[in-house]
A and B are shown apart, each in its own frame.
Chain A
Amino acid sequence: MLVVVGFVFIALGFAWSITAERNPRTERISGSAGDVLEDDPVGRLKVYVYELPSKYNKKILQKDPRCLSHMFAAEIFMHRFLLSSPVRTLNPEEADWFYTPIYATCDLTPTGLPLPFKSPRMVRSAIQLISSSWPYWNRTEGADHFFVVPHDFGACFHYQEEKAIERGILPILRRATLVQTFGQRNHVCLNEGSITIPPYAPPQKMQARQIPPDTPRSIFVYFRGLFYDVNNDPEGGYYARGARAAVWENFKSNPLFDISTEHPTTYYEDMQRAIFCLCPLGWAPWSPRLVEAVVFGCIPVIIADDIVLPFADAIPWEEIGVFVAEEDVPKLDKILTSIPPHVILRKQRLLANPSMKRAMLFPQPTLPGDAFHQILNGLARKLLHPKSVYLKPGEKILNWTAGPITDLKPW
């Protein structure tokens, strides 16, 4: 009898020790939504993809294939992912979410930067099409539709912040869920229920440039990029709200800070040899640097007031990165050196978690736990749609004629 009890205890203890055993190199990530990075959205939601004429998507891509590799490519890859994903349904009656494939960020200048001037008209014309061809838009005025708008200020469709704030989110998109890279608290261009995603960074390029993990991290702080945007803001003060210029002026002579405007060929390798990577805001608060820092295990130092980081409800960014207020930039070295070493090691362990790295990337073909799945998880968490979003017949909330006159021209 006692032997049996003892045996049971031993077995329990054994089982407990196995489950409690943690890989010493990584740590589990639990955000405010729980341990959701590894959730599987398949079966939890259904997405219906509208069939739009190819002038909204394929033809635009054919005109400029650069759209597949720039940092706004998430909209294109999301479309491709959804077309072949198990969450896609061909029956719109049973769909929880509706997706409209518009490549609004693919009108590029010769240097490769997107011009957002025609995007409002394109989106308007697409929504006019879907509201007239299918009844689902009018049912909720878009409340169960989602759009991927990865441009600088999301659905405000302008690269200049003042103009973007003036325009605000496109009026007809105000009830829809916006999947965007831009995120800043109390900002006009971030809707209450929007999902923030990371910008697109090419996964193959990053995987190809990995160095052995035992290479000692010898750079304390690393940053490569502009400090002054000489073309648009030569005196400084507008670009990055003066934060990048402050970093340069305070730390250009500091040997711990490896910062410069050069474009080295060893950019990815250097990030893997650095402990902290600066991710300051530019003209917009988000940047692909965050993705690169996470993938290469470099602790991101985020200098952007009130920024909302990707998948903020699933990923506990406070525990992973270091947040520095823009007014504290002159004290950056003191702030970073006063972080206790055990906190730094813990952040590195969290970053080393492969599910963290996968959640930031858009790999092709898709992998479980990648950014596509996190977007679907986010959408699944927003279900069920409250009854109030379903409008009574004839009821109209959105003002279709709001906004500048130029937006109302047909596309």
Chain B
Amino acid sequence: MKLSALQQSYLGRRSNSFRSSGPLDSSSDGAFKSPAAVFWLVLHGLSCLISLLLGFRFSRLVFLLLSTSSTYTSPFHSPTELAKTLDIRSVIPADPVGNVPLPFPNKTATNSRVVVGRHGIRIRPWPHPNPVEVMKAHRIIERVQTEQRLQFGVKDPRKIIVVTPTYVRTFQSLHLTGVMHSLMLVPYDLVWIVVEAGGVSNETASLIAKSGLRTIHVGFSQRMPNSWDERHKLETKMRLRGLRIVREKILDGIVIFADDSNMHSMELFDEIQNAKWFGAVSVGILANSANIDETVVEKRGEEENPRLPVQGPACNVSNMLAGWHTFNTLPFAGKSAVYIDDRATVLPRKLEWSGFVLNSRLLWKDGDKPEWMKDIDTLDGDIESPLDLVKDPSVVEPLGSCGRRVLLWWLRVEARADSKFPPRWIIDPPLEVTVPSKRTPWPDTPPELPSHEKPVIGIQEPIIKHTTKTRTSRSKRRSKRKHDETRTDRRTTGFDKTLQN
């Protein structure tokens, strides 16, 4: 857009300085050359040479020195500004004025501090982030966000009481760590009631102790059975046990059932604050569709949203509870998992407990609670679904914009029944050597491996060509290090396993 500022001002100044030379130049084409004309011609040539040699900026300065006052029109290009051009990046607090001793001109007529023209670009000596400032800024950000949450978030947040049934098994670490981290991020007060099948164990206790949350860890005498049906029933009993603890300790807040294998979103905890007595949210059902038959899927009847793996409340047009979405189990009929370590799909119940939240006052012995809530002491044994806790299922409040937002996901994944894992996932005693480090099948060293390695080599050989360089460098590094053989072996074992996958 703007014509080159530099060029224009330069041209302007040049034309001003050498306005006189113009007509003389044209006249010099004519007759004899007067000494004045010759003089100007020589001066012109000299200035051209100087410009060529010194470059634009220096030559401008030289001309300024030569032709100080009259021909110089703009009073705003003070020589101090030009002096600043000599050191573009002036460092604070260096004073650039003292460089060139030139007469100090007058600034703009109205005594403004602001001068038009070229300025230096100020850079501080260490233009990198200062860690103290960064920490202060983060604290400011936190404060602003807390304020935002106070203004736009939930008013008067209630305590959240989480009931989780669990038991010790290989995947417990995986599942429970996930739930634990989600709960640690919840910005409200929290009580975590962990009911463990098979009694209280150090395994679980050490896991949940890392959370720093307030936990109530109780044991349940029965062990977890091996079939999914039985397991669901036992889990229901364990949850009731948790609810009884709420009643005994007269905890006040919102009770949510967090199964240890589920994944919760943070918005869930904000949304359940809106529950008055008994709320329901939509649960995404992530059934591992290992062997699903496509043709069976096509034959499904006319359901609303037939393919959505969601369980939860359904509303009518006026946003009142009209019914329930359940997960369609027809495609899996006859092919679902029965035992915990089956490879088939694990199916959820009709309505999962994790999709329901209740006000803890419903569980108290006395106090004002609606009459549609059954007393949990009278219940025992077979409660199919959480709706059995209430006499009238229509009192349930749909949450998450009437069930349209899925706020948590249900998943069931377990290891084989006979899988073992090191207690607390600390390996002690060290593992057995599977592939000795000095005898790994790198291409340089001939493969002198014990006989039980041979099936392993067969898979690795085609890969050897691609990753030659990295492997040799790694082996060299390893042999240099003086570690226990066990540690290197463990690493090779791990490396081995990744290749096999």
Q: How far is the CA of A232 from the CA of B5 in the complex (A)?
A: 6
5 closest A-B pairs by beta carbon, nearest first, are A214-B152, A330-B124, A186-B112, A337-B136, A242-B119
- Residue contact B111 to A249, C-beta cutoff 8 Å: no
Q: Which of B327-360 contact A (CB under 8 A)?
A: none
Which listed residue (B76, B118, B137, B151) contacts A220, Cβ 8 A? B137
- Residue contact A233 to B123, C-beta cutoff 8 Å: no
Closest chain-B Cβ to A239's Cβ sits at a distance in Å of 9
Is A100 in the interface zone, CB < 8 Å from B? no
Closest chain-A Cβ to B474's Cβ sits at a distance in Å of 33
Is A218 in the interface zone, CB < 8 Å from B? yes
- Residue contact A330 to B136, C-beta cutoff 8 Å: no
Is B417 in the interface zone, CB < 8 Å from A? no
> How many B residues, CB 8 Å from partner?
51
Q: Give the contact stretch, choosing among A71-79, A86-94, A121-129, A154-162.
A: A154-162
Set of chain B residues within 8 Å of A111, measured between Cβ atoms: 1
- Residue contact A254 to B122, C-beta cutoff 8 Å: no
Contacts A/B (CB < 8 Å), 30 sampled: A111-B1, A185-B112, A186-B114, A187-B112, A187-B114, A188-B110, A213-B148, A214-B149, A218-B141, A220-B140, A232-B2, A236-B121, A237-B84, A237-B85, A241-B114, A242-B119, A246-B122, A249-B121, A250-B127, A251-B127, A254-B128, A256-B129, A275-B140, A306-B114, A326-B119, A331-B124, A333-B137, A337-B136, A338-B136, A348-B147
> How many residue pairs at the A-B interface have CB separations less than 8 Å?
161
- Residue contact B2 to A159, C-beta cutoff 8 Å: yes
Query: Which chain B residue has the least Cβ–Cβ distance from A257?
Result: B129
Is B120 in the interface zone, CB < 8 Å from A? yes
Query: Which chain A residue has the least Cβ–Cβ distance from B8?
Result: A160
Are A245 and B121 also in contact (CB < 8 A) when A187-B110, A275-B141 are? yes
Binary contact track A327-353/B, C-beta < 8 Å → 1, others 0: 101110110111101001100100000
Q: How far is the CA of A165 from the CA of B136 in the complex (A)?
A: 43
Query: Which chain A residue has the least Cβ–Cβ distance from B93?
Result: A327
Set of chain A residues within 8 Å of B116, measured between Cβ atoms: 161-162, 165
Is B249 in the interface zone, CB < 8 Å from A? no
Is B74 in the interface zone, CB < 8 Å from A? yes
Set of chain B residues within 8 Å of A254, measured between Cβ atoms: 128-129, 134
Q: How far is the CA of A238 from the CA of B121 in the complex (A)?
A: 10
- Residue contact B152 to A237, C-beta cutoff 8 Å: no
Is B133 in the interface zone, CB < 8 Å from A? yes
**Chain A residues in the interface with B (C-beta under 8 A):** 24-25, 109, 111, 113, 159-162, 165-166, 184-188, 212-214, 216-218, 220, 229, 231-233, 235-238, 241-242, 245-246, 249-251, 253-256, 275, 283, 305-306, 326-327, 329-331, 333-334, 336-339, 341, 344-345, 348
Is B153 in the interface zone, CB < 8 Å from A? yes
Set of chain B residues within 8 Å of A338, measured between Cβ atoms: 136
Closest chain-B Cβ to A251's Cβ sits at a distance in Å of 7
Which listed residue (B133, B144, B149) contacts A334, Cβ 8 A? B133
- Residue contact B144 to A348, C-beta cutoff 8 Å: yes
- Residue contact A330 to B92, C-beta cutoff 8 Å: yes
Binary contact track B1-39/A, C-beta < 8 Å → 1, others 0: 111111011000000000000000000000000000000
Binary contact track B94-128/A, C-beta < 8 Å → 1, others 0: 00000000000000111111101111111110011
- Residue contact A217 to B123, C-beta cutoff 8 Å: no
Set of chain B residues within 8 Å of A109, measured between Cβ atoms: 1
Which listed residue (A187, A238, A256, A331) contacts B134, Cβ 8 A? A256
Q: Which of B77-98 contact A (CB under 8 A)?
A: 84-85, 88-89, 92
Are A160 and B5 also in contact (CB < 8 A) when A253-B128, A333-B129, A345-B144 are? yes
Q: How far is the CA of A235 from the CA of B147 in the complex (A)?
A: 44
- Residue contact B8 to A238, C-beta cutoff 8 Å: no
Query: Which chain B residue has the least Cβ–Cβ distance from A114?
Result: B1
- Residue contact A306 to B122, C-beta cutoff 8 Å: no
- Residue contact A253 to B108, C-beta cutoff 8 Å: no
Set of chain A residues within 8 Å of B318, measured between Cβ atoms: none
Set of chain B residues within 8 Å of A330, measured between Cβ atoms: 92, 122-124, 127
Are A216 and B148 also in contact (CB < 8 A) when A159-B2, A253-B127, A344-B140 are? yes
